[in-house]
Amino acid sequence: MKRQGVSARFEGKIRAYYVYYVASQTAFDRGIFVLFLMSNQFSGEQIGLLQAALFWATVASEVPTGIIGDKYGRKRSVAIGLGLFICYCAGVILLSGFWPFLLLYCVYGIAKSFISGSDRALLFDYLKAHGREDAFLRIDSRSKALGALALTIAIAVGGYLQRASWSWVYVAYGLAFVVSLLAWSRIQEILPERGDDLAHGARTGILQQAGVFFFQPHGRRLTWLIAALALVVGAITPYYIFSQAIFQGYGLEPHQIGSIIATAELLSAAAYLLAERISRRLSLERAFYLGAMMTAGLLVLNRAGDLRLTAVIFLAVAALGPLLEVLIGNHLIGQVPSSIRATAMSIVSFAESTVTSLGYLGYGYALARLDLHGFVAASALLPCLAMGCASVYFKRVRGAFT
């Protein structure tokens, strides 16, 4: 009976994590936020500055917030992030003007970084504390799949809410974060393991521990895999965002483009669900090489200039990206010590964001001055470089055990 009670509590915490994650992904404004800004008389340059402010606020705060999560608790870090998201939604409803919105977008970026890495680190530590860390990939991929489905529905619902009022869009968004915060409050905090993570780990700061780890042979090897993941994400994410401009160039209407993107989200959900099955059938090395090669080939095919082929390519790349990210992320999170796990995941996010930012700059320049299809094809170089970085990692891992 006691064992059943423990099992019921364990399953209850996992369900709470699912509710937290799904609610946090219901971005009702995702498909229409640019239209909202335009309705508030923001110019194209101002909208670009707001997006840049959000992005750089996220990048600048990634590592510091990861350190906060490791030092003061991952549960507290995520709760702060969710609270900031709620403040953002309230601010969007109550405030107006460029400078207040610039501040709000910085708040949004910082909120993202408080959550980034800490939620998954706490989930992994909770599973490990119960001897169930092997279930991390299944739970993580399932939560991401449910989150992608929730986002697809939220995009559609947001359009209908906007017909009533823009405020209703952000009221719904804020309430979703309230639900997420309530679910997160049920998650049990797990203190990072200090005993055997790093020498003298308990007596040194988080940043120093991270530095010691990444200068050790195992940590140095991992940097190659982090670089490989960052290169793949840096190729796929800007392509995903700027695909709107590509489809617009074919003469598609906004609702048609939205339908393609919604389909891509559904395929992302399917990819997340397939991740665990693929991990059983293929080694991480083979899965990464296969995924990176397919991504590179698909990006090159964009030069064909056919609408139907471009749509198929976009949907395939949209599915490959989440699959590779969750497989590599699952491997990375188990390779770093518990005491710096949130910091390490923030470093991964920082690397991804840095490469992605360069991709955004490249796509923006290509959109204004170059052939966008040609630039997409040229971006296939990034997955090729990723395979090179991954080969160094896997070769050194094999060398360490021979």
Residue 1's pLDDT band (cuts 50, 70, 90): low
Residue 44 has what pLDDT?
64
Query: Could you tell me the pLDDT band of residue 214, with boundaries at 50, 70 and 90?
Result: confident
pLDDT at 375: 85
Instruction: Say yes or no to pLDDT of 200 above 70.
Output: no
Residue type, 71: K
| Distance (Å, whole) CA 146 – CA 376 | 30
pLDDT at 193: 57
Provide the percentage of residues in the chain whose pLDDT is more than 70.
Answer: 93
- Per-residue pLDDT for 197 more than 80? no
Contacts of 127 (CB under 8 A, 6+ apart): 133, 135, 136, 139
Per-residue pLDDT for 131 more than 50? yes
Q: Cα angle vertex 246, ends 244, 252, to 5°?
A: 75
Which is higher by pLDDT, 58 or 224?
A: 224
pLDDT tens per residue, range 65-100: 888 888 888 899 999 999 999 999 999 999 999 999
pLDDT at site 402: 63
75-113: b or e for each residue (b if 16 or more CB lie within 10 Å)? bebbbbbbebbbbbbebbbeeeebeebbebbbbbbbbbb
> Mean pLDDT, to the nearest integer, of 18-37?
87
Judged against a pLDDT cut of 60, whether residue 203 lies above it is answered with: no
- Supply the DSSP string of 125-194, one letter for each residue: HHHHHTT-GGGHHHHHHHHHHHHHHHHHHHHHHHHHHHHH-HHHHHHHHHHHHHHHHHHHTTSPP-PPP-
Higher confidence at residue 203 or residue 215? 215
- How does residue 171 score in pLDDT terms, banded at 50, 70 and 90? very high
pLDDT confidence of residue 5: 60
**pLDDT-derived band of residue 316, with 50, 70 and 90 as boundaries?**
very high
Query: Residues 86, 138: contact at Cβ < 8 Å?
Result: no
Q: What is the DSSP annotation of 212-276?
A: HHHHSHHHHHHHHHHHHHHHHHHHHHHHHHHHHHHHHHTT--HHHHHHHHHHHHHHHHHHHHHHH
In this predicted structure, the answer to whether residue 195 has a pLDDT above a threshold of 60 is no
Band (pLDDT 50/70/90 cuts) for residue 232 is very high
Q: What is the mean pLDDT of the chain?
A: 86
Tell me how crowded residue 223 is: count the other CB atoms within 10 A of its CB.
16
Least confident of 81-85, 107-111, 269-273: 269-273
Domains of the chain with bracketed CATH = 16-186 (1.20.1250.20), 206-402 (1.20.1250.20)
Burial profile 170-184: b = 16 or more Cβ within 10 angstroms, e = fewer: bbbbbebbebbbebb
Residue 12 tokens, joined = 């209850």
